Structure 1
């Protein structure tokens, strides 16, 4: 797990994390990417034994602002959250970079900032700014040529070629699946490492994305909980050939339900004692109190 005082012989460097992510993307089985919305949930993903963690823009917006994912979170706020993730865990961190927060020039700065934060991968989408969650209505996309330029800018901006650039298209809901597939091909030609067709609405459409793009680049399947894409068993996703599977908001929804439950218990009983809560000592262990004790022993004089 991520430590307060990284051990150079154990904690991976950003380059090592990026190499690890590429290795995982190339593996025969799909890489499972649970979404996390803050450093604590990222630690829980790591402690559960996953190989990488996804910083969800939807979840970060809800966590930091208490608002929906409609383009309200700034690049600086999301970059700070990315740094917290990288500091909290030793896993490769994949980040939702929205539209790159503007035009191609903004994309250059976004990629440089995310790279300096130590992330292993990021995805850029072709919505207009401000964007919306990919499973909301009312989306719009930029012209194809504009997004191709943004992908080319991202490729040129990265200093470490190991940084995994994921190109997401939201065109299926706006221009149809044919256009979305054509856009994905163009983004691969512009240098994207991984392709992400957002929000196909049937298993047939999911299968078509896999069939037509599977030989072009590794593919993302976004299993957005409660979203427009129908849920598929992991075995089916693997059979179709997807390389990454994102579960973006399961942890956020679970945490929200748990907080609502304990607050209802306090409201009803005047105490949380009837709620299912972790023991205090168990929680402090989860967030690294024993490690703090080790540091106090080591450096306390």
Structure 2
């Protein structure tokens, strides 16, 4: 069975960019230039096609740098991106041993993205992503996403939910 949304969105994900541009796995080797270039190429393949959602990882630097990738994705024609709560030397979302930043740092990333988008007068969609399920608990994941929503995120993702039932519960807990 395929996802009904799969045909409605294009995805520029770091693992795909790392593999196709760098010949490497997603270990944080790809940089903003790589992701922006790949995203722009994808959006230009079919300009009136499905919207592109890109991966911003941890924001390509500290809080002061987050405005730059928001600007670059906006200029590349990206419809949305996700920002995550892993530490700066991130790991692929499917690997074990991921570490996440404290909740306040995560929320500051979300706020910085929202501020940059607002300053650009951009309608780019900000997707808050948490990888905390592996190292923290489910309740904290929900708290992180709710706080990110309060600070301007448009959507949220819990990376690698444990079961279909847990995914269903997350939808209920995060509604509306």
**What is the TM-score normalised by the length of structure 1?**
0.54
Deviating 4+ runs (over 2 angstroms) = none
Query: 143, 146, 150: which is aligned to 1:189?
Result: 150
- Distance in 1 (CA, whole Å) between partners of 2:140 and 2:9 is 31
1:148: Cα distance to partner? 0.7
Report the equivalent of 1:68.
Answer: 25
Distance 1:197 1:51 in 2: 21
**Match status 1:57 vs 2:14:** yes
Counterpart among 29, 32, 56 of residue 5 in structure 2: 32
Q: CA deviation at 1:31?
A: 5.8
Q: Which residue matches 2:37?
A: 80
Return the match for 2:135 from 174, 178, 184. Answer: 174
Q: 2:57 aligns with which of 84, 98, 115?
A: 98
> Which runs of no fewer than 5 residues in structure 1 stay unpaired?
1-29, 34-49, 216-301
* Cα distance, 1:214 vs structure 2: 2.4
Name the stretch that deviates more: 152-161 or 181-190.
152-161
Equivalent residue runs for 1:1-301 within 5 Å = 32-33=5-6, 50-90=7-47, 91=49, 92-158=51-117, 159-215=120-176
CA distance in 1, matches of 2:46, 2:14: 18
Q: SS where residue 66 of structure 2 aligns?
A: helix
- Higher-Rg structure is 1
The 2-side partners of 1:214 and 1:70 are apart by 33
CA RMSD, Structure 1 to Structure 2 (Å): 1.4
Question: Which is helix-richer, 1 or 2?
Answer: 1
Structure-2 residue corresponding to 1:14: none
Counterpart CA distance in 2 for 1:111 and 1:161 is 9
Corresponding residue for residue 254 of structure 1? none
SS at match of 1:196: strand
Deviation of 1:110 (Å)? 0.9
Q: In the TM superposition, what whole-angstrom CA distance separates every residue of 1:102-136 from its partner, at most 9, and x where no partner exists?
A: 22112111101111111111111010112111110
Runs of 5+ consecutive residues of structure 2 not aligned to the other structure: none
